Amino acid sequence: MPAMSSRVSNILYLLAGAIAVAAVAGVLALSSDHTPNPAVAQTTPSPSTGEPASVADIYRRVSPGVVYIAAGDGSGSGFVIDRDGSIVTNDHVVGSSQQVSVRFGEQSDPIEGKVIGTDPSTDLALVKVDPSDVEGGLKPLQLSTSKDLAPGEPAIAIGSPFGLQGTVTSGIVSALNREIQSPNGFPISGVIQTDAAINPGNSGGPLLDGDGRAIGVNSQIATNGANANSGVGFAVPIDTVKQVIPQLERNGKIARAYLGVSTSEAPPRDGALVREVTPGGPADQGGLRPGDLIVELDGEAIRSPSDLGQTVLARKPGGTVDVVVQRDGDRQTVKVRLGDRPDQVPDQQPLG
């Protein structure tokens, strides 16, 4: 089982989504194309100025836009983001399916949904339904931003844990900028941690703020062995959704930059410590070595492996970057031409 970081190696990380899916892992990375999608952007509200809403009020308002998704032998959750029928869910919920069954409300009949695109590196997928098939019309969720979140803020999850559609749980944002593994084995950075109860079947459903706006997509849970909630869940930030979904709508997939290293933290120093270098990969060809401490990439400070992952994935394959490292007590700059990320991490190969 993949570990979130070198500091937590005895905890398992499970996909919190498709009930029939075996325990593995899954979640984040920034895309290289930042073109906004008007259909998504128009759902982003201005900051709330009223009194905090109750969880019951938020549930009544938001739950009509949260759906149950069945794909193959598994199931999960999803939520509507525009009036054109766009639904966000997890890559591991839809799997290899091209068509899925979508249900709005426990009493409604399932309708057909088409899988428009998937991105295993962020564990996100885009599903479309015909708005005319939805009884009562579509009710998109409002999208907030994840960049201004702080630990301790309210967090509310709505989804279908164990197939129980329309379940709501609440808690707080427990931590930010966590790093876990995506379904294709690469690390995902910048993940939101929450103690709102998330269980198998919650994957793809929204994590909401205290105003009922989506701040993330529930994706994983941490467990000591039981396939159930232990108070540590993870969600893909909504800012990543806003970057990834428009590209999936246009192209069905995303080309991502690849450095070819595995790294860890090196306290008390800031930076990303290179543990392994993929033989023949971009970092290897550029001259990076195990033991190098990466502290800067193209002028951006690297304080952690999470910083490195997000900085690399904000660039395009084929571009050359200046990587500043601490090596043998000296500060050196190494030029690396970024490659194309493979579809899957090869066995026993570095992740970054």
- Give the residue numbers annotated as catalytic, written as ranges: 92, 123, 203
* Lookup: tokens for 253: 């997939």
DSSP label of 28: -
Contact 182, 233 (CB under 8 A): no
In angstroms, the CA 182 to CA 261 distance is: 16
Q: Alpha carbon of 189 to those of 36, 176, 193: distances in Å?
A: 21, 10, 12
Q: Alpha carbon of 293 to those of 26, 250, 306: distances in Å?
A: 26, 38, 14
The residue behind tokens 């979130």 is 4
Q: For residue 264, how many other CB atoms are within 10 A of its CB?
A: 15
- Phi, psi angles (nearest 5°) of residue 168: -120, 140
Q: Alpha carbon of 344 to those of 112, 123, 270, 337, 347: distances in Å?
A: 29, 13, 29, 20, 9
Strands (E) in 248-319, as ranges, are 257-258, 261-266, 269-277, 293-297, 300-301
Q: For residue 33, how many other CB atoms are within 10 A of its CB?
A: 15
* Lookup: tokens for 128: 């479309």
* Lookup: tokens for 121: 């590196």
- Phi, psi angles (nearest 5°) of residue 283: -65, -40
Are β-strands 206-208 and 214-223 bridged in parallel, bridged antiparallel, or unpaired? antiparallel
- Phi, psi angles (nearest 5°) of residue 264: -145, 170
Burial class (CB in 10 A: 0-12, 13-18, 19+), 42: middle
In angstroms, the CA 345 to CA 260 distance is: 10
Whole-angstrom Cα Rg for the chain? 20
